[in-house]
Structure 1
Amino acid sequence: MGIRDIIEGKRQWRAHVARIEALPPDYRIVYREIQKYLFKVGPAELPEILPGIAEFFEEGVAGGKSVMQLIGPDVAAFCDDVIANSLTTPGAAGR
């Protein structure tokens, strides 16, 4: 990994964080809980999963849904489903 890769990675992360900060407060709170859970579990697909969740949340906001309508009452169960989906369906993280 060269310096350009590191810089590009930081640029992508900052853009991702900006997307999250643009979400309504309840979505941001749930996203941070999801992020904490996924950082603890540590799936290798994390760089693909988090942007997928951001996109999923943006679609939920655009559709006028509450975050709990999207993920259900259990954040951990939602995360486990996302991880299982990402392991069985390449490129489908967060959907």
Structure 2
Amino acid sequence: MTMSDAEKGGFLTKVIGPKRRWWQYKARKEQLPPNYRTAVEAIERYLMHFVPTDGDSNASMFEDLADLFEQAAADGTPIREIVGQDPVEFVEAFVQNYSEGGYVPARARKRLTDAIERAAGEDTGKEDKTV
């Protein structure tokens, strides 16, 4: 049994489509100013580990994240104006548009919060004891 050209096209779109969108997102992220890129990478890491979604939802979510930070960088919007004082709350609200979310350990929440503090240029004087 062989696939028709139409079936192959649908299959390839499912396999390659999200990957292509992912690489386009990664290229956009690399063009951000360093502190915005650091914030996006922290959010990305958090999302990748703790937010279950499908490939299309992931692609849309990361594209929207890039849109948000590109616009903020262009406008000179401080990182804290984007994510607020609680980056975990920001990400959990952001992701509700794409999935039902999932369980997130406290360690991951702290790691995200610390990374955003560094990206926002805040010296908390706290020692990071997470491994």
Identity of aligned residues (%): 28
- For residues 73 and 3 of structure 1, what CA distance do their matches in structure 2 show? 42
- Compared with structure 1, are the counterparts of its residues 78 and 66 closer, same or farther at alpha carbon in structure 2 (3 Å cutoff)? same
Q: CA-atom RMSD, angstroms?
A: 2.1
Partner of 2:72: 60
The alpha-carbon deviation at position 85 of structure 1 amounts to 3.6
1:50 to 59, 62, 71: 62
TM-score by length of 1: 0.76
Partner of 1:16: 25
Partner of 1:93: none
SS of the aligned residue for 2:96 comes to: helix
Instruction: Could you tell me which runs of 5 or more consecutive residues in structure 1 were left unpaired when the two chains were aligned.
Output: 89-95
Could you tell me which amino acid in structure 1 is paired with residue 27 of structure 2?
A: A
Instruction: Could you tell me which runs of 5 or more consecutive residues in structure 2 were left unpaired when the two chains were aligned.
Output: 1-9, 101-131
Partner of 1:71: 83
Greater helix share, 1 or 2? 1
Once the two structures are superposed, what CA deviation does each residue of 1:34-65 show, in whole Å capped at 9, x if it has no partner?
11111122231322211111101111111111
TM-score by length of 2: 0.58
1:34 to 43, 61, 65: 43
8 Å Cα contact 1:43-1:83 kept in structure 2: no
Partner of 2:129: none
